[in-house]
Structure 1
Amino acid sequence: MFTEDVATDLPAYPFRRDRGDCPFAPPPRYGQLREEQPVTRVRLWDGSTPFLLTGHEVCRTALTDPRFSSDGANRAQPRFVKFDIPDDVFNFGKMDDPEHARLRRMVAGHFASRPVEAMRPAITTICHAQLRQLVQAGSPADLVAHYAFPIPSLVIGGVLGVAGPGLDEFARDSTRALDPSLSAEEMGAAINSMVGFVDDLCAAKRAAPGDDLISRLVLDFERTGELTRKQLVATVMVVLLAGYETTANMIALGTTALLRDPEQLAFLRAEPAGFANAVEELLRWHTIVQDGTGRVALDDVELDGVLVPAGSGVIVNLPAANRDPDVFPDPDRLDVTRHNARRHFAFGYGVHQCVGMTLARVELQIALETLLCGLPGLAPATPFEDLDFALESMNLGLRSLPVTW
């Protein structure tokens, strides 16, 4: 048991990239810990002292071993935000089996390979339309506002049967809810606004169902009693969150990284089939979720020679695992031809792996190829060191990306 004095000597987590460092590189402390102490204690804002995992192997164990719980209602779960999320807002990603599996199955079929592949023509049409709008906006233009964010908004909006300014407001709220620099009241207000938006959206589908995912959840599961109203709202929220901001961030970050690497960009323009593997490498290299994901040890578990007692909180640090040199040689180098890039944990791993990962992959492949091959003269309009990276957020991103062509 850690005493209060010992806890104050532990490093404060999360670690953040410094403004003077390359924003593409995770905080150097991750690499030091991965080499010296891949399983170690850290201190969160609330004084709790969970274990931080930084090695690929120990992270994989925590993501797959049923002795580690995802239950968000467990008070030992590491809390990255400064307010309590009500238990009834937790989605299936914050539950354990069998309830996790029961709720996940209700949406998983919509994001399986076959239906997602069938969406390729529609996604391609959306990307080309947004490329035209970007050009019409005039050079220079903000790639984030005119391309990176509209594409996943339109795609997930089509899946859920929702469009219009409401999604833009939802995106702004989701960004605020993940910004630790805000007060607990401000972050909580953003969460409440998101819940209210989704609740109203579900009410509209009850009144007038359509041919979309929310309507199917209402008709097939809520009306049969298999989904409560709050479970429906939580399920739709996780689909929206998984299908919107992180994908938009990756479009902007991936574009920036490739524009800074002319040789690899030239290779992809000459061999567009390479965009599929390039997306995997970009996902590994960037790892949008900066702080990792939480677990709780249900039993005593030994990881890399360290005993993690039952009841301990655990943080699986995804960026550190994705830069592990034991798995990815020369891990700090972006290599769009890396043969094992898909071993990354950008979508998590195991039974809780992101339900929308197949859709995200397809969107990123099409969006990046359409943009980078469609605008051969594309170039940043702002020096790299002046770009506005969201370094303080739990999700890495760019607030804007001025470009010319």
Structure 2
Amino acid sequence: MAATYRGIGLWAMPYTVDDARLLADPYAVYAELREQAPVQRITGPDGAPAWLVTRYDDVKQALADPRLSLDKRHALPGNYRGFSLPPALDANLLNMDPPDHTRVRRLVSKAFTARRVEALREPVQRVADSLLDAVEGQGRAELIADYAGPLPIIVICDLLGVPQEARRDFRAWTDAMLLPDPTRPERAKEAVGSMVRFYVELIRRKREQPGDDLLSAMIAARDEGDRLTEDELTSLAFLIHFAGYENVVHLIGNATVALLDDPKRARALREDPSLMPAAVEELARFDPPGALAIRRFPLEDLEIGGVTVPAGETVMLCIASANRDPARVHDPDRLDFERAGGAGHLSLGHGIHYCLGAPLARLETAVALGTLLRRFPDLALGVPRDELRRRPSIRARGLIELPVTF
């Protein structure tokens, strides 16, 4: 069954990370890897070699290890061929190490404190209700396009101060990058270019006429203290928008399917809304939107799980696998809202790169699920379970469509 990669004597996956089996049944594959080869050399999503780490303890330790850099300049030449962004979008927190990461993150972190985010609950609730109002009379909906997708886009646009007339384009550009059309590969590149031009113009306008929004506050911080470069400013706005959309839409979609698969848990959550905070943590553990953490590059030869990974090679930390490690979580393939804090799940990261927007993601998910369960108590899948289509990606685990009836 096993092959050997470049003389490395490890059990090797007989597939790449885009293999049909891994896409169709990832958790079964992760279970095999945790048992047989928890640190494994594979072919990564970009076609280059990478190391996949699957056990909880190894993943958690690596997430906080300063010897694992996010800066692509530490990758070996030819070892990493990830999606290329222009400089105006590439200078973001997902490509930074301290001290730049510390400086940039500190600037925006005040916007995502639990207290500030809680003040958004009522606006988020209004968005959720308005979206469901639009489909209620139809008796059916496609929940990604009609609900899980537009909700975070509207919230993020409000937060950044994006004008109403630009929001349709905003989502179209995001979708073009997240789900490229194989028949028109140029669309993703065009979307990136459109987004750069949009942000440059929006920043110019807000510099002239500031508003009561996060982007205006970021511009003021840059201009007054010169703490951000222009590219960092543009990239930070892009990251808040992009990550704030992608992760939340997939989390809401995955959580909805998990609840429809477990009517007993869904009923308990409907009857006792106080369970929602614990439910969100457990649902995030159970089927996270980001199966893999952002890639990392060892600054030196580094031992992970007893395996030496050479400096500069790509390391992929498998959050989805770590969250279901039986060494950490009892009966990990079962949904259980009584687990404390989702049993310490890693879906929102760990260490200095812990998800900046975690409080907002939790709020949006809680409001979205609670509103859906309350308003549509007979919610059901609109297609057979095995016909649900997921994105063809190991990195981001999300649904393309989620047809439902009610």
Length-normalised TM-score, structure 1: 0.89
Is the 8 Å Cα contact of residues 15 and 27 (structure 1) preserved in structure 2? no
Is the 8 Å Cα contact of residues 173 and 190 (structure 1) preserved in structure 2? yes
The match for 2:97 is 96
The match for 2:52 is 52
By how many angstroms is 1:29 displaced?
2.6
Q: Give aligned pairs, total.
A: 397
Is the 8 Å Cα contact of residues 74 and 312 (structure 2) preserved in structure 1? no
The match for 1:335 is 336
The match for 2:359 is 358
**Structure 1, gaps ≥5 residues long:** none
Q: Which amino acid aligns with 2:322?
A: A
- Whole-Å separation in 2 of the counterparts to 1:141 and 1:178: 22
The match for 2:190 is 189
The match for 2:17 is 14
By how many angstroms is 1:171 displaced?
2.9
Q: For 1:42-191, what aligned pairs fall within 5 Å after superposition?
A: 42-44=42-44, 48-76=48-76, 79=80, 81=82, 83-87=83-87, 89-136=90-137, 138-164=138-164, 166-179=166-179, 182=182, 185-191=186-192
By how many angstroms is 1:295 displaced?
0.9
Is the 8 Å Cα contact of residues 75 and 297 (structure 2) preserved in structure 1? no
By how many angstroms is 1:135 displaced?
0.9
- Whole-Å separation in 1 of the counterparts to 2:315 and 2:146: 39
By how many angstroms is 1:87 displaced?
4.9
Is the 8 Å Cα contact of residues 48 and 81 (structure 2) preserved in structure 1? no
How many percent of aligned residue pairs carry the same amino acid? 35
Query: Cα–Cα, structure 1 residues 299 and 84, in superposed 2: closer, same or farther, change >3 Å?
Result: same
**1:125-180 deviation line (CA, Å, top 9, x unaligned):** 222222222214x1222222222122212211111111435334333333332447
By how many angstroms is 1:38 displaced?
1.2
The match for 1:321 is 322
By how many angstroms is 1:52 displaced?
1.4
Query: Cα–Cα, structure 1 residues 45 and 365, in superposed 2: closer, same or farther, change >3 Å?
Result: closer
Q: Which amino acid aligns with 1:68?
A: L
- Give the match's secondary structure for 1:50: strand
The match for 2:260 is 259
By how many angstroms is 1:201 displaced?
2.2
- Whole-Å separation in 2 of the counterparts to 1:324 and 1:217: 40
- Whole-Å separation in 1 of the counterparts to 2:168 and 2:343: 31
Q: CA RMSD in A?
A: 2.7
The match for 2:381 is 380
- Give the match's secondary structure for 2:72: coil
**1:258-291 deviation line (CA, Å, top 9, x unaligned):** 1221111111111111111111111111111234
Query: Cα–Cα, structure 1 residues 16 and 132, in superposed 2: closer, same or farther, change >3 Å?
Result: farther
- Whole-Å separation in 1 of the counterparts to 2:355 and 2:22: 30
- Give the match's secondary structure for 2:126: helix
Query: Cα–Cα, structure 1 residues 394 and 68, in superposed 2: closer, same or farther, change >3 Å?
Result: closer
Query: Cα–Cα, structure 1 residues 367 and 46, in superposed 2: closer, same or farther, change >3 Å?
Result: closer
> Which shifted more, 12-21 or 28-37?
12-21
The match for 2:291 is 290
The match for 1:201 is 202
Query: Cα–Cα, structure 1 residues 175 and 46, in superposed 2: closer, same or farther, change >3 Å?
Result: same
Q: For 1:258-277, what aligned pairs fall within 5 Å after superposition?
A: 258-277=259-278
Is the 8 Å Cα contact of residues 300 and 312 (structure 2) preserved in structure 1? yes
Q: Which amino acid aligns with 1:245?
A: E
- Give the match's secondary structure for 1:326: coil
Is the 8 Å Cα contact of residues 273 and 370 (structure 2) preserved in structure 1? yes
- Whole-Å separation in 1 of the counterparts to 2:170 and 2:234: 13
- Give the match's secondary structure for 2:295: strand
**1:93-133 deviation line (CA, Å, top 9, x unaligned):** 22001100100111100001111112222222222222222
Is the 8 Å Cα contact of residues 222 and 228 (structure 1) preserved in structure 2? no
By how many angstroms is 1:231 displaced?
1.1
- Give the match's secondary structure for 2:297: strand
Length-normalised TM-score, structure 2: 0.89
Q: Which amino acid aligns with 2:283?
A: L
**1:15-34 deviation line (CA, Å, top 9, x unaligned):** 4554994xxx5253322111
- Whole-Å separation in 2 of the counterparts to 1:240 and 1:299: 33
- Give the match's secondary structure for 2:43: coil
By how many angstroms is 1:224 displaced?
3.8
